[in-house]
Chain A
Amino acid sequence: MLSYASRTVRGVRLEALELGSGRRLLFLHAGYGLDFEAASLERLATQAQVIAPTHPGFGGSERPSSMTTVDDVAYLYLDLLQELDLRDVTLVGVSLGAWIAAEIAVKSTERLAKLVLSSAVGIKVGNRETRDIADIFAMTEDEFNAAAFADPAVAVRDYKSMPEAQVLRVAKNREALARFAWSPYMHNPKLSSRLHRVNVPTLFLWGSRDHIVSQDYGRAYCAAVPGARFELIEAAGHFPHIEQPEVFAANVLDFMECDGSSRRFV
């Protein structure tokens, strides 16, 4: 088990992984849960101060009963940025975390320097009979792994030998994801019409073999964010930070460093 710090934001106790030093990076995890994402954080922490909270209701983080939507979570993280007085933060999210990050950015970019959205869900692109985002709640775990990973073998878990506490976290994460994303499925119908408000440099990262959300979906998402850039990561599915942690981190760190792209100059 990873060693989590404890943070209290607006009275809500959240666990968080905090590592590294340097420029500030707030990492928002996928529905999968932070336990399986640590490798990419370690890479990021070689050049950045990474704060990676577990979302409310996931893992060891509390969820106040009033917190039922991704919107609520976005406001909580805006409060986190304010309470810690963090500025010039690079906000990085993957999948569900990218949806939360986009909801934060359309509300306020005051404390953000840059935005990285990987394998993002959160918007509706196709028509009413086109399913943009694979229905993961209609899949077995094997089917999900086949769709979400370039190499499904890396995702296979042996629950029988897994410590009980971690199995409980897996079960808790699955429920928390459904609470926030069951319907409307994995998106907020209002979000796409608000993305024009994102006024910080934005990078989209997409696994070349993502069969949960397609490249076309990612490119449409990217096109809705002013000036955003789109990069593919090869040999990765829906979780490029898990399958290609070094490439993922290098893309994020390069983007953090690149010139002329701080919000001051936009």
Chain B
Amino acid sequence: MSGPVRVYHFTEQPYPDAWKDHAGSLRVTLPNRRLDPVIAADLLNRYYDEWALADELGLDVMVNEHHQTATCMSSTSIVALSVLARITKRARILILGYPIGHRTDPLRVAEELAMVDVVSRGRLDMGFIKGVPYEFACSNQNAVGVMDRFWEAHDFIIKAMTSHDGPFNWESENFHYRQVNIWPRPYQKPHPPVWSTTASRGNARVLGERGYVMSVLGSGYSTRPVYDAYREGYKAAGRGTAPADRFGYLGLVSVAATEQKARERAEIIATYLRSSEFVAPAFKNPPGYLAIEDNARLLKGQTPPRSATKDGRKIDMRKASVQELIDAAVMFCGTPDQVFEQITDFADHCGGMGNLLMMGHAGALSHTETVDNLTVFAKEVLPRLKTYRQPTLDDAIAAA
């Protein structure tokens, strides 16, 4: 179980100017007239610069993709991946995730990702997700049956990346190809590492059986049961004890020389969480996205919050204070000592966590602030995380 914590710098590449006036909907319906392409160009180039800095500082990098939203301008992740494949030198490049549940053409996905892997000389980490609920309205893909489509697209992409002896045939319910033979094939063998995300124990077990890297997003001290479900699946598939590098966690990070400075920065970073609720209600839960039983519970008005603090308090991350976010390990915030302590305490609690997906920029955090945040983290926290000793299974059981 030993091993360091890798840290990926992540930003959603937001357009925060639009957050000031949105009539309750930052996603799907907010007219794109509200985006000034000149400002967008400055922002996107700046975010790429910050990823290049992260690479120089010894951090890894992570990008994502969303659609029709001011919270994330990365509407096709392949653009950021392509840029990063060239401008970074050493970092692992994680896409988490590529929303293959929204894609009509997994052949194109396989071709794009294989090419990024080659250009980056094998630095791609390949995260697949089904896609967020509100974006089924944008892609017009059906949320009903999305997990079937997700796994079939996954199977196809892996087959396309690992078939090297000429064309193969694929004719199924969802996808139809007759001469599949991608050029170039991926740099890494047999293919770039597969990642995914989930909040459910059922999906976690499936990911464990497959041995893929599983990340959860902001679930704080509610994370352990999901990790344990993964561990069960991993073991049941005959893989033994799941090492810490199989687990990722997305948390917000604000670190500075003084606690006061970190708290000021944290208030800006937290606007990311507070913006997430501005989705027109009709798009929040398309039919088929959740299981029927979960939808029935929602109709009954039962909506369990996802995040919990270490002492069991449930928090709503959209409304929580910075202190509550820290208590729940949704945010790691403070001096380098405090942040190291918070991260490793959380990793211990989880029974091991080998990949911190660090939101080192969010909201309207300025370039100067972001550079400082990344630099302090990389110089003061990262070296200590590299020598961190993950808990053994016995340690983890004792701590639970």
Contact B295 A174 (CB under 8 A): yes
With A138-B137, A178-B142, A179-B145 known as contacts, the answer to whether A171 contacts B283 (CB < 8 A) is no
Question: From A185, which residue of chain B is reached at the shortest CB distance?
Answer: B140
Contact B292 A140 (CB under 8 A): no
Q: Is A259 an interface position by the 8 A CB rule? A: no
Q: Is A168 an interface position by the 8 A CB rule? A: yes
With A137-B137, A179-B142, A179-B144 known as contacts, the answer to whether A164 contacts B283 (CB < 8 A) is no
Contacts of B300 in A (CB 8 A): 159-160, 164, 167
Contact A137 B301 (CB under 8 A): no
Q: Is B281 an interface position by the 8 A CB rule? A: yes
Contacts of B173 in A (CB 8 A): 68
Cβ contacts A161-173/B at 8 Å (1 or 0 each): 0001001101110
Contact A171 B296 (CB under 8 A): yes
With A172-B292, A174-B287, A178-B288 known as contacts, the answer to whether A159 contacts B144 (CB < 8 A) is no
Number of chain A residues whose Cβ lies closer than 8 Å to a Cβ of chain B = 21
B278-312 contacts to A, CB under 8 A, are 280-283, 286-288, 292-293, 295-296, 299-301
Q: Is B124 an interface position by the 8 A CB rule? A: no
Question: From A66, which residue of chain B is reached at the shortest CB distance?
Answer: B173
Contact B299 A183 (CB under 8 A): no
Cβ contacts A113-155/B at 8 Å (1 or 0 each): 0000000000000000000000001111001000000000000
Query: Min CB distance, A132 to chain B, in Å?
Result: 16
Q: In the complex, A140 Cα to B284 Cα: how many Å?
A: 10
Report the number of A-B residue pairs with Cβ-Cβ less than 8 Å.
Answer: 62
Contacts of B142 in A (CB 8 A): 178-179, 182-183
Q: Is B59 an interface position by the 8 A CB rule? A: no
From B140, B288, B296, contact of A170 by CB (8 A): B296
Q: Is A234 an interface position by the 8 A CB rule? A: no
Contact B283 A138 (CB under 8 A): yes
Q: Is B326 an interface position by the 8 A CB rule? A: no
Contact B299 A171 (CB under 8 A): yes
Contact A137 B282 (CB under 8 A): yes
Q: In the complex, A170 Cα to B300 Cα: how many Å?
A: 11
From A160, A170, A171, A178, contact of B301 by CB (8 A): A160
Contacts of B283 in A (CB 8 A): 138
Contact B295 A171 (CB under 8 A): yes
Main secondary structure of the interface of A (DSSP, over half): helix
Question: From A138, which residue of chain B is reached at the shortest CB distance?
Answer: B282
Q: In the complex, A145 Cα to B282 Cα: how many Å?
A: 13
Q: Is A175 an interface position by the 8 A CB rule? A: yes
Q: Is A177 an interface position by the 8 A CB rule? A: yes
Question: From B301, which residue of chain A is reached at the shortest CB distance?
Answer: A160
Question: From B145, which residue of chain A is reached at the shortest CB distance?
Answer: A179
Question: From A166, which residue of chain B is reached at the shortest CB distance?
Answer: B296
Cβ contacts B139-170/A at 8 Å (1 or 0 each): 01111110000000000000000000000000
Query: Min CB distance, B27 to chain A, in Å?
Result: 13
Contacts of A167 in B (CB 8 A): 296, 299-300
Query: Min CB distance, B224 to chain A, in Å?
Result: 29
Contact B299 A140 (CB under 8 A): no
With A137-B282, A138-B137 known as contacts, the answer to whether A171 contacts B292 (CB < 8 A) is yes
Contact B296 A168 (CB under 8 A): yes
Cβ contacts A22-54/B at 8 Å (1 or 0 each): 000000000000000000000000000000000
Query: Min CB distance, B141 to chain A, in Å?
Result: 8
Contacts of B282 in A (CB 8 A): 137-140, 143
Question: From A143, which residue of chain B is reached at the shortest CB distance?
Answer: B282
Query: Min CB distance, B291 to chain A, in Å?
Result: 9
Q: In the complex, A259 Cα to B208 Cα: how many Å?
A: 68
Q: In the complex, A183 Cα to B137 Cα: how many Å?
A: 11
With A137-B286, A140-B281, A159-B301 known as contacts, the answer to whether A178 contacts B296 (CB < 8 A) is no
Q: In the complex, A33 Cα to B142 Cα: how many Å?
A: 20
Contacts of B143 in A (CB 8 A): 178, 182
Contact B287 A159 (CB under 8 A): no
Query: Min CB distance, A60 to chain B, in Å?
Result: 13
Query: Min CB distance, A138 to chain B, in Å?
Result: 5
Question: From A178, which residue of chain B is reached at the shortest CB distance?
Answer: B287
From B140, B286, B288, B299, contact of A159 by CB (8 A): B299
Contacts of A159 in B (CB 8 A): 299-301
Contacts of A143 in B (CB 8 A): 282
Question: From A172, which residue of chain B is reached at the shortest CB distance?
Answer: B292
Q: In the complex, A164 Cα to B297 Cα: how many Å?
A: 9
Contacts of A168 in B (CB 8 A): 292-293, 296
From A139, A164, A175, contact of B144 by CB (8 A): A175
Contact B287 A137 (CB under 8 A): yes
Contacts of A175 in B (CB 8 A): 144, 287-288, 292, 295
Residue in A140, A168, A175 with the greatest tally of chain B CB atoms within 10 Å: A175
Contacts of A137 in B (CB 8 A): 137, 282, 286-287
Apart from A138-B137, A168-B292, A182-B144, 6 more pairs, CB < 8 Å: A137-B137, A138-B283, A171-B292, A178-B144, A179-B142, A183-B140
Identify 13 residue pairs between A and B in the complex whose beta-carbon atoms are under 8 Å apart, listed by A's number. Answer: A159-B301, A167-B299, A171-B292, A178-B143, A178-B144, A178-B286, A178-B288, A179-B144, A179-B288, A182-B142, A182-B143, A182-B144, A183-B141
Q: Point out residues on A near B: beta carbons under 8 Å.
A: 68, 137-140, 143, 159-160, 164, 167-168, 170-172, 174-175, 177-179, 182-183
Closest 6 A-B residue pairs measured CB to CB?
A178-B287, A171-B295, A182-B142, A159-B299, A179-B144, A171-B296
